[in-house]
C-alpha cells in the first residue's frame, strides 16, 4: 500500500459530502489489517488487487460468473422520460447537457473533492451511440477530463432535466482499464446536495462498485468477479420513496437486484443527472500513473418513470418490483 494512500474499505457512514463514500478512519495499523481481511473474504477472494486486464471493447463477449438476486425490468409499469442515444454531443446552453457542475467548488475543478480534474469539452467524444470520456494529464498536476450534467452546471448548458422519486436510471458502461487513478460515476446533484450514485468505481479496487444514497444516508461497497477493469456492465438504480435499490447485469443478461438500502429518497426528491470521469488525487485512492490516459464509455443512458394510471383504471397485473 503506497504512502499517503488510505485504505478504501474502512467506512463509518457520513452524509452529504461529494467525494466517494466519506471515511472516518480507524488507526492506520488497524485499518491496514482490516482491509487485508476484508479483501480476502470479498467476492474475489485474496486476489482482489490483481493486475490482469480484461480484453474486449465489445459488450457481450465476457466470460464471468452470473449474478444472483431478483430480476428487474425497468420498462415494466414505466415510460421513458429521457433516452440519450449519443448520436451527437448535445452540450451547451439550450442543449441537454452542461459540461461543468455546481458540485465542483470552482465549477471546472474540485480540489476539495479528492479530484485532480480540470473539466473540458475536449475530453468528451460521441460516436456510434457511445459517449467516451478520456482523462489525459495536464499542467500543474491536473488531468483534463469530462463531465455531463443536465442542470446545476454553472451556466455551461443543460436543459434542467431532473430525475425524481420513483424513477429508474439505467446505463451500460465500460469501466476504465488502468490500474490506478480512474474514478467513473453516474450520479445526481442539485443545490449542493441531493446526491444518489447509480455507481462509483475506483480502478485500484477493481472488483467493487460503490452505491450511495446521500439523500437518505446509506452506502454500500459491493464486490463481484464481473466487476473489473475494462468490463462492460449494465447498471440501474430505482429511486424509491422508502428504499433505493441497485441492479447490475452483464450485457445480454437480465438486471438483478444486488442491494436495497431501505432508506429511500423521500416523496419529493428531484435532482439533475450527472455522468463523470474523475482522476483520484491520492488521498482516498491511488493517483493515476503519470502520462497514462484512461477512458470511460457510456451507452444506453435511459431514465424510466412510473406510468400514471388513468382515473378508475384497474390495478395493473404483474406489478414491478418495489
Distances (CA, A) of 228 to 66, 160, 250, 278: 14, 33, 12, 17
CATH code for the domain of 162: 2.60.120.200
Whether 144 and 120 have beta carbons less than 8 Å apart is answered as: yes
Q: Does a structural domain hold residue 23? A: no
Can you read off the three cell numbers belonging to residue 129? 451511440
| Residue 156 near residue 99 (C-beta atoms within 8 A) | yes
Classify 184 as helix, strand or coil: strand
Residue 313 pLDDT level (bands cut at 50, 70, 90): very low
**pLDDT value at residue 35:** 36
Cell representation of residue 258: 444486488
How far is 238 from 55, CA to CA, in rounded Å?
A: 31
Structurally, the chain folds into a number of domains equal to 1
Is residue 33 in a domain? no
**Residue 66: per-residue pLDDT:** 73
Q: In which band, very low, low, confident or very high, does the pLDDT at 12 lie, cut at 50, 70 and 90?
A: very low
Residue with cell 453516474: 186
Question: Per-residue pLDDT for 195 more than 90?
Answer: yes
Euclidean distance between CA atoms 189 and 273, whole angstroms: 7
**Residue 182 counted as domain residue:** yes
Does 115 reside within a domain?
A: yes
Indicate yes or no: pTM above 0.85. no
Is the distance from CB of 251 to CB of 264 less than 8 angstroms?
A: no
- What does the angle CA 227 – CA 233 – CA 234 come to, to the nearest 5 degrees? 135
CB atoms within 10 A of CB 320: 16
What's the pLDDT score for residue 308? 78
The 3-state secondary structure of 8-28, one letter per residue: CCCCCCCCCCCCCCCCCCCCH
Mean pLDDT of the chain: 83
Q: Is the residue at 274 inside a domain?
A: yes
Q: State pLDDT tens for residues 275-291.
A: 999 999 999 999 999 99
Model confidence at 51, pLDDT cuts 50, 70, 90, reads very low
pLDDT tens across 20-49, in order? Answer: 454 333 343 344 334 333 333 333 333 333
- Give yes or no for residue 225 having a pLDDT over 70: yes
User: Range with the lowest mean pLDDT among 27-36, 58-67, 213-222?
Assistant: 27-36
Distance CA(144)–CA(301), nearest Å, equals: 23
**pLDDT band at residue 65 using 50, 70 and 90 as cut-offs:** low
**C-alpha span between 170 and 198 (Å, rounded):** 8
Q: Which residue range is the domain that position 203 belongs to?
A: 68-306
Banded model confidence at residue 61, pLDDT cuts 50, 70, 90 = low
> Is residue 193 pLDDT above 90, yes or no?
yes
- DSSP-H helix ranges across the chain: 28-40
Is residue 235 domain-resident?
Answer: yes
- 20 within a domain of the structure (yes/no): no
Amino acid at each position: 500500500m503506497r504512502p499517503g494512500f488510505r485504505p478504501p474499505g474502512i467506512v463509518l457512514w457520513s452524509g452529504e459530502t461529494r467525494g466517494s463514500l466519506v471515511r472516518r478512519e480507524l488507526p492506520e495499523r488497524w485499518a491496514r489489517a482490516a482491509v487485508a481481511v476484508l479483501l480476502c473474504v470479498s467476492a474475489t477472494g485474496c486476489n482482489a488487487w490483481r493486475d490482469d486486464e480484461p480484453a474486449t471493447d465489445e459488450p457481450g463477449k465476457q466470460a464471468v460468473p452470473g449474478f444472483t438476486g431478483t430480476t428487474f425490468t425497468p420498462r415494466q409499469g414505466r415510460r421513458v422520460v429521457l433516452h440519450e442515444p449519443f448520436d451527437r454531443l448535445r452540450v451547451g446552453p439550450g442543449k441537454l447537457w452542461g459540461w461543468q457542475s455546481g458540485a465542483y467548488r470552482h465549477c471546472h475543478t474540485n480540489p476539495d473533492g479528492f479530484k485532480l480534474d480540470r473539466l473540458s469539452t475536449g475530453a468528451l467524444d460521441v460516436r456510434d451511440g457511445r459517449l467516451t470520456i478520456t482523462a489525459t494529464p495536464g499542467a500543474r498536476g491536473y488531468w483534463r477530463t469530462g463531465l455531463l450534467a443536465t442542470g446545476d452546471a454553472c451556466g455551461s448548458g443543460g436543459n434542467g432535466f431532473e430525475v425524481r422519486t420513483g424513477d429508474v436510471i439505467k446505463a451500460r458502461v465500460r469501466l476504465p482499464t488502468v490500474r490506478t487513478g480512474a474514478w467513473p460515476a453516474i450520479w445526481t446533484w442539485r443545490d449542493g446536495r441531493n446526491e444518489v450514485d447509480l455507481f462509483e468505481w475506483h480502478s485500484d479496487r477493481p472488483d467493487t462498485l460503490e452505491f450511495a444514497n446521500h439523500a437518505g444516508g446509506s452506502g454500500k461497497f459491493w464486490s463481484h468477479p464481473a466487476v473489473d477493469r475494462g468490463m462492460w456492465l449494465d447498471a440501474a438504480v430505482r429511486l424509491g420513496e422508502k428504499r433505493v435499490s441497485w441492479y447490475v447485469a452483464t450485457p445480454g443478461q437480465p438486471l438483478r437486484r444486488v442491494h436495497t438500502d431501505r432508506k429511500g429518497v423521500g416523496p419529493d426528491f428531484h435532482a439533475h443527472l450527472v455522468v463523470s470521469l474523475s482522476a483520484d488525487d491520492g488521498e482516498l485512492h491511488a493517483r493515476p500513473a503519470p502520462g497514462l490516459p484512461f477512458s470511460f464509455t457510456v451507452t444506453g443512458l435511459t431514465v424510466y418513470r412510473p406510468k400514471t394510471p388513468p382515473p378508475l383504471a384497474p390495478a395493473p397485473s404483474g406489478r414491478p418490483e418495489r
